[in-house]
Amino acid sequence: MHTQILIPIDGFDRCATLLNAYQRSLLPLEAATIIDQSMAGHAALTAQDEANNTQHLADLAQRQYHLLLLTHSFHKLYACLCHAQLELEEFASEGANLNDYAAQKRAEYVVEYGSDDGKDYHPDGSVGLRDDSKALAPFQLALTLAPFFVGNTTSQGECIGSSLPQDFAYFSNLVATDPVFTPPNLASYPTADKLTAYRRCDALELSIEESVLADERFSDLPEHSRGPKLVAEFNALLLRCQAVATRYHTLAPTDANGFVELFEQVDKLFHGEDSTPLWTQSKG
């Protein structure tokens, strides 16, 4: 039986470790949400709900859906940030010339997919670089970045700037008020009276180094302040994503210097000015 909903992000930068620390704070809630039972047991609970006019199974399914939505949201946001950062870094590190970037992207496309336009090839059959604006228009940086930002018409789900801190309020309240889940407070969650849920939490094995590192970075904080600190930094990340999205949407497609500045803005979400984790920069 699959017993994991919250999937750690495969990354060691400050953004990934922050999102993983947030998810790790919710692991006992995940454990209390997962039921290890037979189909016969499920049928019995269904009959009990029908007899008592309750909806315990429906509530449980909703909690599972919310946790699944949360982890999918984190992975999608992180992927969008990574893709945007890579494209902007390629542009900025190779001369910050928008036409050169588009010409290279078109050439890469032709190499992979081919082209019916003979102007894409040299006489010897090798792929050349185009310099005419019509050929390069679909490969401009602004269009390449569009799927990763809120407001685009092609992608669905989480992307840069699509959600605000209040959209995560339900989970953030849990993380802020109960950052260190122990057996006594775990028992307050629905279905946590099941011994299987407690064993699931206790025996959880995550061989993901950044999850451990995230806990160590909070170890110097008083136990009662770790949750609020984590939520504050998570909210700051979302607000910075909003600022990045606003910057992207206000850029003219021909503003090369503006895209360099956008790269620096996005890169700080991963590394910061001094390469320290997002939450440690605001410690008082």
Tokens standing for residue 241: 């994503």
Cβ 101 vs Cβ 265: under 8 Å = no
Q: How far apart are CA 148 and CA 194, in angstroms?
A: 42
Query: 217 or 129, which is more confident?
Result: 129
Q: How many CB atoms lie within 10 A of CB 228?
A: 15
Q: How many CB atoms lie within 10 A of CB 121?
A: 14
Given a cut of 90, whether residue 136 has pLDDT beyond it is: yes
The percent of residues in the chain predicted with pLDDT above 90, rounded, is 59
* Placement of tokens 């939450």 in the chain: 279
Given a cut of 80, whether residue 274 has pLDDT beyond it is: no
Q: How far apart are CA 192 and CA 35, in angstroms?
A: 10
127 φ, ψ to 5°? -80, 135
Q: What rounded mean pLDDT belongs to the chain?
A: 80
Q: How far apart are CA 72 and CA 277, in angstroms?
A: 23
Given a cut of 50, whether residue 62 has pLDDT beyond it is: yes
Pick from 38, 33, 41, 39: which is nearest to 59 by CA?
33
The DSSP bridge partners found for residue 241 are: none
* Placement of tokens 């801190």 in the chain: 165
Q: Where are the domains of the chain?
A: 14-282
Question: What Rg do the C-alpha atoms of the chain give, in angstroms?
Answer: 24
Cβ 160 vs Cβ 149: under 8 Å = yes
What does each C-alpha distance from 59 to 49, 122, 272 come to in angstroms?
11, 63, 40
- The pLDDT assigned to 152 comes to 66
* Placement of tokens 């390449």 in the chain: 144
Given a cut of 80, whether residue 124 has pLDDT beyond it is: yes
- The pLDDT assigned to 188 comes to 42
- The pLDDT assigned to 149 comes to 94
Task: Kindly indicate the confidence band of residue 70, based on its pLDDT and cuts at 50, 70 and 90.
Answer: very high
Task: Kindly indicate the confidence band of residue 153, based on its pLDDT and cuts at 50, 70 and 90.
Answer: low
